[in-house]
Copies of this chain bind each other. A is one copy, B any other.
Amino acid sequence: MQFLYWLDILGTAVFAISGVLLAGKLKMDPFGVLVLGTVTAIGGGTIRDLLLDVPVFWIVDSTDLVIAILTCFVTIALVRAPAKLPRWLLPVLDAIGLAVFVGIGVNKAIGQEVNVLIAICMGVITGVGGGMIRDTLAREIPMILRKEVYATACIFGGATHAVSHVYFDVAQSIAMLLGITVTLLIRLTAIRWKLQLPTFALDNSA
């Protein structure tokens, strides 16, 4: 699980970077950037903990909060031209962070003895919550609601994890790795071949 610990740190940092980069489009004050990046990194887990009525993770142990804040400062200092980064880098890091966060969310929910459906929901919320807050604050329609096979990846990965552990008695750690792998593969496949589900559009909305 030590490996997972580092993936969690990585996920937190990547999400913070994505918040800072979005802020870069919006001409924000540096401390506004800090707020947006930090909220992106820890927002999903925060909503999950509030819903599960357990102490909020970054209040209990501030490691992730510190990582998020430091990442924001470093990103603000270093990244002036993200276009110079390889185009695939951020989406791939984001996919890793997403997959790990979904796994952590399902894990924590199962520890609270909720049913499988709730566990999957908590995984999805942990994975996508931060990005939804980020996009909402920045006045974008949340990316995950659009056409990136984003929610889809979380739902299938979370379901693999929760179902294999609860119904098929797969050990928690194995189930989690399975789920993380599924989320990651779906996202990476979607990124590589620019896959997307047919979008849902209505002729004439009510």
Contacts and interface: CB of A to CB of B under 8 A. Distances in A.
Given A51-B46, A137-B142, A31 B197 contact: yes
Given A26-B141, A29-B200, A137-B145, A114 B206 contact: no
Contacts of A137: 132, 136, 141-142, 145
A37 to B, nearest CB: 10
B82 A204 contact: yes
Interface string A20-64: 111111111111111110000000001000111101101100100
A83 B198 CA distance: 21
Given A35-B144, A53-B56, A136-B137, A204 B29 contact: no
Interface string A56-88: 101100100110000000001001111101000
Copy number in this complex? 3
16 contacts: A23-B200, A27-B200, A27-B201, A28-B146, A28-B200, A29-B145, A29-B146, A29-B200, A31-B197, A32-B146, A35-B144, A50-B51, A52-B59, A81-B202, A82-B205, A139-B139
Closest 5 CB pairs of A and B: A24-B202, A32-B145, A83-B204, A31-B151, A82-B206
